[in-house]
Amino acid sequence: MTDLLFAATEMVSLLAADAATDVPGVSGSLTLGIAGAGAGIGVGLVGMGAAQSVGRNPGAFGKILTIGIIGMALAEAIAIYALIMAFGKY
C-alpha cells in the first residue's frame, strides 16, 4: 500500500508542477503544497501501520521501527523532490 501511496504522491506532484506553470503568478507553491500534504499523509500511514504492528506483536519492535523509519524517510523524500522542483528549473 505504501508503494501505491508513494507513486500517487509523485504523480500528483508532477501534475501540480504542470498546472503551476500554466497559471501566471503561481510559482512552485502549488507543487510544494500538494507534495507536502501527500508526504504528510504517507508519514501518517506509515506511523499508523507501525503502531498497529507493535500492538499486535510487541516482540518485533526493533524490526518494525527500522522499516517504519525507512518508510517515513522515503515519504519525506517526495516532499524534498517537490521543494527542488518548486524552486529549481526542471
For 8-25, write each residue's pLDDT tens digit: 666 656 665 555 555 555
Amino acid at 8: A
For 44-68, write each residue's pLDDT tens digit: 888 999 999 999 999 999 999 999 9
Q: pTM for this structure? A: 0.62
The structural architecture, per CATH, of the domain 2-87 is: Up-down Bundle (1.20)
Sign of CA dihedral 13, 35, 63, 49: negative
Burial (Cβ within 10 Å: 0-12, 13-18, ≥19) of residue 53? middle
